[in-house]
Amino acid sequence: MLCVVEFEGSEAGDEVVLPGGNTHARIVRIGETVRRPTSEWSPSVHQLLLHLEAVGFDGAPRFLGVDGEGREVLTFVPGAVVHPDHSVLIETDDALRRVGAWLRRYHDAATAFDFVGGHRWCDWGADPSGSDEVLCHNDLAPWNLVAGPRGWVVIDWDLAAPGRRSWDLAYALQTLVPLWPDRGRSAETVARRVGVLCAGYGMPWLAPACLDVAVERCTTMYELIRRRGAIGEPHFAQLLADGHDVIWDAGARHAAAKVAEWKGLLAGH
């Protein structure tokens, strides 16, 4: 059951507006808490965060309740967010390996949580295969990755939904290796970083399959933005207006053209 909590300093004058990504409504910090608008899938996300706290997983913010304005209240995570100003934090192999280890720890921590029955999850980044292998975060990317005193912490759990391990890993590869075109990385460097992240996850043999899924994921995002943006769905209409369909299409085309080369280099390691 969700609790309603009242915190001192909830007046607008005490609020510090935080960056909210591409489509979020107003997100604010008040003291050591963050207040965010809720959605129809928020109750499931809140139960997940409570479960993670209960099993001792320290790589996510804590859910504290819902305030008098109906906003979810989360612990503020101190540290440096990788995007846009701290990309150097993810440049080393060790940093990337620790991201892979974070994702594996999260997937393992979520296994005891009944995420299939009785839950509603967001479908914005969900795996279209219908798999319930793991409960994916679905947005493990530089803009949600915080380097803090305890190591990596990942914020923004709104897109959590069931899916394949490779679906979550592929998104991390796409955004953190990264697999985007025109990033100035050699194919050898890309392949090495793909291998490092998957090795950090503890399943290096998944790397080739994850590259195929990265193409799938980019294509899925392109099609979702085009299809749902065209009918005016607020989230996707904004992404379409901002040209994110073009970004995902370019990502899909680039990965599809390079995946055979990257796999060949992976096999040589």
Domain that residue 35 falls in: 12-75
2 within some domain: no
Residues 166/213, Cβ–Cβ less than 8 Å: yes
Determine the Cα–Cα distance for residues 149 and 165; give it in Å rounded to an integer. Answer: 27
Q: What is the pLDDT of residue 13?
A: 46
42 within some domain: yes
> pLDDT per position in the chain (269 positions), as tens?
344 444 444 444 488 998 755 555 689 999 999 999 999 999 999 999 999 999 999 999 999 999 999 999 999 999 999 999 999 999 999 999 999 999 999 999 999 999 998 899 999 999 999 999 999 999 999 999 999 888 999 999 999 999 999 999 999 999 999 999 988 899 999 999 999 999 999 999 999 999 999 999 999 999 999 999 999 999 999 999 999 999 999 999 999 999 999 999 998 76
Q: What is the pLDDT of residue 26?
A: 83
Taking the alpha carbons of 84, 170, 105, 51 in that order, is the dihedral positive or negative? positive
Q: What is the pLDDT of residue 10?
A: 46
Taking the alpha carbons of 81, 85, 87, 88 in that order, is the dihedral positive or negative? negative
pTM over 0.85: yes
Determine the Cα–Cα distance for residues 118 and 115; give it in Å rounded to an integer. Answer: 8
**What CATH number should be reported for the domain holding residue 246?**
3.90.1200
6 within some domain: no
Tell me, yes or no, whether 166 and 47 share the same domain: no
Give the domain-ending residue among 20, 43, 75.
75
Tell me, yes or no, whether 86 and 213 share the same domain: yes
What residue spans of the chain are helical by DSSP H? Answer: 42-54, 93-110, 165-176, 187-201, 207-230, 234-241, 244-267
Determine the Cα–Cα distance for residues 131 and 237; give it in Å rounded to an integer. Answer: 27
Tell me, yes or no, whether 223 and 243 share the same domain: yes
Domain total for the chain?
2
Give the domain-ending residue among 75, 101, 126.
75
Residues 171/149, Cβ–Cβ less than 8 Å: no
